[in-house]
Amino acid sequence: MSPDVIQAILLTVVTAATPLLIAAMGELVVERSGVLNLGVEGMMIIGAVTGFGAAQITGSPWAGVLAAIVCGALFSLPFAVLTLSLATNQVATGLSLTLLGLGVAGMIGEQFVGLPGVRLEAIAIPGLVDIPLIGRLLFGQDPIFYLSILLAVGVWWFIFRTRAGLTLRAVGDSHGSAHALGINVLRVRYLAVMFGGACAGLAGAHLSLVYIPQWVENMTAGRGWIALALVVFASWLPLRVVIGAYLFGAVTIAQFHAQAQGVAIPSQFLSALPYLATIVVLVLISSNRRMTMRNTPASLGKPFVPDR
């Protein structure tokens, strides 16, 4: 294979991985605060539909990106109010956020079906983009890819290098102790959940403005759930989320190429690969108890009701 072909394949891998990376990075912050939000799929599809819609109406893909981030964060609020202020079951509430998101997005999106989309164009850095093999990969990508890298570095830095990140981890590991130290547990969790919503929204915008610049119903196709699995796979470490996202991107693209090459396996089996890979990865990770337990936020999924 020529360097150009290899680069083209790697480019598609990165494009497939970017929404997973962004959504998983957001959910990682949410779970580090001790909240399990299963609504990623719902927030992501809201981001996809509002991003597409705003770009369509204004003609500017950037308006789409902004709208997706804002709407993703806003859409996480019902989940936050229920699980945090009303101490509801996080699993059930997150599920209902996903169901609601798919419903609302389907309703809003009906008017967008079949419309040509607005593409968020790639930004090429002159000179550097012509480097063989890695030029376009690193310097000729869509803006959301650059954002995703910034996000990954930023989340790592925030969690492990700042005082606020320490507070976040404290809240996630022992909400009782954090409360006793005077930390406003619920405020930290509200902010974390909304950050997760914003990230999921941005991931959705990547789908409808870069990956497939169109609105297709249920276009997230389980990516929100795969992002949730990635956080477990990464055992709550940002760097491993990046690795995991690119691995999944590679699996997705490998099955596309296999289908295009006319491999003698039915296309449905190839399409099932990313989902099966998710299960395999979850099994491998969970069978290694020590590695998972070390980083699992101890308060994950437990409601916190301050005593008064």
Work out how close the CB of 166 gets to other proteins at its nearest, in angstroms, rounded to a whole number: 26
88 near other proteins, rule: CB under 8 A: yes
Q: How many residues make contact with other proteins (CB under 8 A)?
A: 46
Angle, in degrees to the nearest 10, between helices 185-206 and 3-32: 160
Q: Find the Cα–Cα–Cα–Cα dihedral 91, 92, 96, 97, rounded to 10°.
A: -30
Residue from 263, 271, 219, 238 nearest 160 by CA: 238
Q: How far is CA 48 from CA 105, 158, 198, 285, in A?
A: 8, 27, 12, 30
Under the binding rule (CB under 8 A), the answer on residue 251 touching other proteins is no
- Which residue's CB is nearer to other proteins, number 144 or number 203? 203
* String of contacts with other proteins for each residue 3-42, x by CB under 8 A: -----------------------------------x----
Q: Which of 3, 4, 86, 150 binds other proteins (CB under 8 A)?
A: 86
Q: How far is the CB of 98 from other proteins (least distance, A)?
A: 9
Residue located via tokens 């991931």: 203
Nearer Cβ to other proteins (161/308): 308
Residue of 3, 59, 99, 130 that binds other proteins (CB under 8 A): 99
Interacting residue with other proteins among 7, 18, 37, 93 (CB under 8 A):
93
Region binding other proteins by CB under 8 A among candidate stretches 7-15, 99-107, 127-135, 158-166: 99-107
Cα distance between residue 263 and residue 266, in whole Å? 8
Count the alpha carbons within 13 Å of 179 in the hemisphere toward its beta carbon.
12
